[in-house]
Copies of this chain bind each other. A is one copy, B any other.
Amino acid sequence: VSALVSIGEFSRLAHLSVKALRHYHDVGVFSPVEVDIHNGYRLYGVEQLDDAHVLRRLRELDMPLEEVKLVLDSGGGCRRDRAIASHLQRMELELERTRDIVASLRDLLDAPTRPLDVTHRTLKPGEAVAHRATVANTNIEQWSIEAFADLSAVVASAGFVRAGPTGSQFSNEYFEQGIGDVAAFVALEGRVGPEAMGAEVLRLSGGAHATTIHCGTYEDLDLTYGALGSHVAEKQIGAPGPITEFYVAGPDEVETEADLRTEVCWPIIA
């Protein structure tokens, strides 16, 4: 049928290294059509080049080999197209994030420190409808958007009255490990009734907090955390408890990222 070539020849045709080809064979992502029984020589068919070219591009885009395997195994059908399309979409998001980080880094170098207005205030205790999950910081935005969309629907359909902007509570684990328990909530006037189907009830314990307003993209929240936490550490007024964010002006309400306003609340001793 079609020509068989050695691994060295195939590596020149596909622009993939011999070591890489052997590795792909070992882990079952991309195998030669034939292996010589006498000497173990791998023999590739030239018709495998189409797959090899796709494989090379996916790896250049840093797609994990496990996913590459799925794509190559899924045949030429729409499953394959969907797998690639979803990865390409992730790449676009990655590109945006990279641009944001670059911009943020430029800012950091231009204006190394900006002072921060820290206020001490006491959060009101109360009840809230909430969604709670273990979330990684890589997809906290996506998760929050969905959580708040659902909570809004619940609040509207149950006829609850909001008591302030939407907010989130974070476990320490979330910041220390980059993944941990997060609760997205909407504080309510009075108590949460049984109409809150689907959503959990979150009891907000309130108490003394050092707070500040973060302006702009969430990518820069670490700066505000640093400044706020420094303030608390220097005055030695830290107290246990979760950190709370209030989305005073969230993604829904602003036109540009620069207009975002987020209140960060750090628990302190009374």
Contact = CB atoms under 8 A, between A and B. Distances in A.
Interface string A148-172: 0000000000000000000000001
Contacts of A65: none
Given A12-B229, A46-B230, A54 B176 contact: no
A254 interface: no
A27 to B, nearest CB: 20
A52 B108 CA distance: 12
A9 B15 CA distance: 48
A223 to B, nearest CB: 6
Contacts of A229: 5, 9, 12-13, 46
A98 B108 contact: no
Given A52-B226, A98-B91, A102-B88, A57 B108 contact: yes
Contact of A102 (B18, B61, B230): B61
Contacts of A108: 53-54, 57
Interface of A: 2-3, 5, 8-9, 11-15, 17-18, 46, 49-50, 52-54, 56-58, 60-61, 76, 81, 84, 88, 91, 95, 98-99, 101-102, 104-106, 108-109, 112-113, 137, 172, 175-178, 221-223, 225-227, 229-230, 233-234, 236, 238, 243
Contacts of A88: 102, 105-106
Interface of A is mostly: helix
A113 to B, nearest CB: 7
Contact of A230 (B49, B54, B226): B49
Given A9-B233, A81-B109, A109-B84, A222 B14 contact: yes
Contacts of A15: 137, 175, 178, 221-222, 225
Given A8-B176, A176-B18, A56 B102 contact: no
Contact of A53 (B14, B137, B222): B222
Contacts of A17: 176-178
Contacts of A52: 226
Given A84-B105, A108-B57, A12 B98 contact: no
A46 B233 contact: yes
B226 A3 contact: no
A13 B210 CA distance: 14
Contacts of A57: 101, 104-105, 108
A117 to B, nearest CB: 18
A212 to B, nearest CB: 13
B105 A13 contact: no
A17 B13 CA distance: 43
